[in-house]
Amino acid sequence: MKAYMRMWFCRGNFSGRSSRKEFWPAFGLHFLIWVALTLLAGLDQYLAVFGAAYILISLLPVITLSIRRVHDAGKSGASLLWVLLPVVGWGILLILLLQKSDGNNRWGEGPG
């Protein structure tokens, strides 16, 4: 929950780094909330509107968290553009997000 809250508080911070320990719990909770809202959207139109609002509001925090995560792996935030490539791009981005920390790099000191 701490990582999820940090995702929201650092929503405009495109610089710096996010470790795997910070990224995956926050992204996982975000994904579970998204899935729950998507499933509930079929039950009520108001829940569908709430779900759409959550996705729009959480877009910036998730993007900034992802950019900081690829920074931790030593890559540029532009690496997120791989998602524009159908199917293969998502796999490449997943590999980038799973990479270990790159130690000290141009985006800051390494964890620990």
**pLDDT of amino acid 27:** 93
**pLDDT of amino acid 18:** 87
* 33-37 contacts at long range (C-beta below 8 A, 24 or more positions apart): 34/58
Mean pLDDT per segment of 10 residues, for the chain of length 112 residues?
82 83 92 89 80 90 92 89 90 92 81 60
Neighbours of 18 (CB within 10 A): 26
pTM: 0.84
Mark residue 37 as left, alpha or beta (left: phi above 0; alpha: psi -120 to 50; beta: remaining): alpha
**pLDDT of amino acid 57:** 92
**pLDDT of amino acid 49:** 86
**pLDDT of amino acid 32:** 93
**pLDDT of amino acid 111:** 65
